[in-house]
A and B are shown apart, each in its own frame.
Chain A
Amino acid sequence: MENSRRTFLKIAGISALGLSAKPVLDAFALDIDMLNKKINAAPKNGALTAKRWGMVIDTRKLETEEALKPMIEVCHKIHNVPVHENKRHEIKWIWEEGFKHAFPDLEHEYVNERVEHLPFLVLCNHCKDAPCVRACPTKATFKQADGIVAMDFHRCIGCRFCMAACPYGSRSFNFRDPRPFIAEINKKYPTRMRGVVEKCNFCSERLDEGLQPACVEASNGALVFGDLENPESEVRQLLKTNYTIRRKVALGTGPSVYYIV
């Protein structure tokens, strides 16, 4: 009796272990490249599509903090980004930084006076080779077929590995329930719960409906959005005719946001 119970428990234990290991083994059974393959979903009718979305920010048209405000406000409003009093809990998708913070590797003591005081709009760079995508242990952060680094708020376990991995400080964590701190909830976009990470999504929900990102729409032409892999696109034309800089290029992440200074 003793012996058979013991044997039973042993077999049950080993089977349980085996079952839990199955999905892990399945992952290895897949071609490793498959795992990194971009998620492909058929685009909706009328949706804006691209091979790799990118943005050009013309700072010549955005000389003051006031000029940046409408873009930041509209983004945070439509995406239900809460306003926390405690700076530690702050959530931001798009915000303003000085040159020495946005481009710490380019800053020097004799930097041009205009640039030194110029407010730079910063957001997720939707990197070509994003360190956050590499770090995420659940694929809650993933690369879409159109180059957008997207997030599944419902899969995120809140380990914050992506925040450590991002060299641009583009990610925020919900240190507490954000809902009481949203002035007016936009029902067309989900609110988040405490304990998950979030960031700019290049307005992929708007692209699906054929709309440009909200910040681009509010920018009076200072922000241009388009397909980096299409030589005819407006962004490519701008990149061809203007000298642009990107943030921390030496890290090899391949940011998709360009700045005309």
Chain B
Amino acid sequence: MLELALKGSKRYYGWIAGLLAVIGVGFGCYLWQLSFGLGITGMSRDVSWGFYIAQFTFLVGVAASAVMLVLPYYLHHYKAFGRITILGEFLAVSSVTMCVLFIVVDLGQPMRLLNVMLYPTPNSVLFWDMIVLNGYLFLNIIIGWQVLQGERNGVAPPKWVKTLIYISIPWAVSIHTVTAFLYCGLPGRGFWLTAILAPRFLASAFAAGPAFLILLCLLVRKLTKFDPGKEQIQTLAKIVTYGIILNVFFFLCEVFVVFYSKIPEHMDHMIYLFKGLHGHGVLVPWMWTSIALMVFSIILLVNPFTRQKEGILLVACLCVFFGTWIDKGLGMISGGFVPSPLHYVNEYVPTAPEIAITIGVYATGFLVLTLLFKIATSVKEELEGV
């Protein structure tokens, strides 16, 4: 099936060339980072994780959201999703690829990466994260490929694939749970030290992922002859609605606990993010934008009249995506480091090369996504004879 990725229009090749150019710039900056060290980023002794780890966290969520297609289709026999589960699985593959790349670019000594496997340490959550992320990547590659190939050849996929599919469902939940455990098990970081972190991560994942998938479905319909389907998009929209409402609800639970208990170690981070602390508040406008986007999207999504209009749904999905991206991709990580455990307010702002590397990783993910979606939609076009 790989050959399907090679046959495309000029526009297709142009897009790929563009992505490769962006990847090139990012890679160049990465070589610079590799020779100089992580000092070219905005990270510091106090904010020791920044943009890379934040993007990683956000994308784990996008990856996990494939389960929102797989579960209704395979466990509830919701047939309509059979048409697009492959898109969800391939989105997961490209998201996990980005996650792994973000971890690698964040390492101070990437050549020693294999030490994680050579000296396995089960008491470290990072060890488990390595296992669940790689496992999820392989599961989705194998499942997606086998099912698509079966579909193309007009035969049912081999039986063992079904077993992998059932495994992939709790596995999807595990990737985001373990990722939350990276943060919420650390004693001195009050912002993350909350049992709601993993559920909150999952809720925002099940909002952001399917929202992005709706955007992709609309794009696929526009660019190819394969129509993912109106019903499919509407069902996804309902999932997004539940996801984003739960996300905001969990966030409000957190707000209550933090501000009613008034324990400074938990409260100071929230104050820093939403009001500013000791005159520092670079993230304040972003955080309120995030809240506004999420609330606005809920208004558009809850109302069936607006949700069912695809033009408005598109706007709502953009709001969900960017609202949750700010929440996790900007606030969640650096917010946990400011103020520092010694109560200093040293802010974090990513640098230009850091952003270039980040965009380079995103471009790599989009390249993988483009190739996989090209294959998937070509097979679907073939089957529908259009």
A residues neighboring B (CB under 8 Å): 20, 23-24, 26-28, 32, 35-36, 86-91, 97, 100-102, 104-105, 131, 134-140, 155-161, 163-169, 172-177, 193-197, 248, 251-253
Contacts and interface: CB of A to CB of B under 8 A. Distances in A.
Contacts of A155: 112, 115, 119
A90 B130 CA distance: 30
Given A100-B343, A137-B121, A164-B49, A89 B39 contact: yes
Interface of B: 36-39, 41-46, 48-49, 103, 106-110, 112-113, 115-127, 130-131, 182-183, 186-189, 265, 336-337, 340-344
Contacts, number: 167
A157 B112 CA distance: 5
Given A135-B186, A164-B189, A168-B188, A101 B48 contact: no
B39 A160 contact: no
Contacts of A27: 120-122
A117 B118 CA distance: 48
Q: Which of B45, B106, B115 has the most CB of A within 10 A?
A: B45
B121 A136 contact: yes
Contacts of A134: 123-124
20 contacts: A23-B119, A23-B120, A24-B120, A35-B123, A90-B45, A138-B119, A138-B124, A140-B115, A155-B112, A155-B119, A156-B108, A158-B38, A161-B124, A164-B337, A168-B188, A173-B45, A173-B108, A194-B36, A195-B38, A196-B108
Contact of A164 (B107, B122, B186): B186
Nearest to B124: A137
Contact of B188 (A89, A175, A251): A251
Q: Which of A24, A32, A89, A195 has the most CB of B within 10 A?
A: A195
A166 B341 CA distance: 8
B119 A159 contact: no
A153 to B, nearest CB: 10
A83 to B, nearest CB: 14
Contacts of A196: 108-109
